[in-house]
Structure 1
Amino acid sequence: MKQSKPRQLLSTKINAGLKAAVAAAIERHRKLGESIAVWEDGKVVILTADRIPPISPEK
């Protein structure tokens, strides 16, 4: 049980880092005019840069 808290803290940091990296990559694609592929309703959908919503900074 002693390792539960440090592992939980580490996984929280990892999840936050991955979320920030994905948001940065999506925003970069939007700014450069590049498309991205997303999964919607069981299908792959290509979003053109003009259809990618801007990432709003979290407060």
Structure 2
Amino acid sequence: MNEQQMKTLHQKIHAGVKEAIARAIEQHRQRGQSISIWQDGKIVTLKAEEIPAKDTNTSQESSLHS
């Protein structure tokens, strides 16, 4: 596998993982389940109502880890 193929594969895997995370977070929000995230060097638990709704234009995962 050449370098360009590896880069393409990496991008596909990264996109798939980000989408899977976003879906799992959204399922928790919809089911009323809390999630725990890493924020400012600490583990923080968000109640379902504190979880932002999935935005179809941006990544859910990036908004939680900023």
Aligned to 1:56: 55
Q: Does 1:15 find its partner at 2:34?
A: no
> How far, CA to CA, are the matches of 2:45 and 2:17 in structure 1?
22
Q: Aligned residue pairs: how many?
A: 58
> How far, CA to CA, are the matches of 1:15 and 1:58 in structure 2?
17
Q: 1:58: Cα distance to partner?
A: 2.5
Q: Which has the larger radius of gyration?
A: 1
Which of structure 1's runs of 4+ aligned residues deviate more than 6 A?
none
Q: TM-score, normalised by structure 2?
A: 0.84
Percent of pairs identical after alignment?
Answer: 43
Q: TM-score, normalised by structure 1?
A: 0.93
> How far, CA to CA, are the matches of 1:40 and 1:20 in structure 2?
20
Runs (5+) with no aligned partner, structure 2: 59-66
> How far, CA to CA, are the matches of 2:10 and 2:27 in structure 1?
26
Q: Which has the higher contact order (CA 8 A, sep 6+)?
A: 2
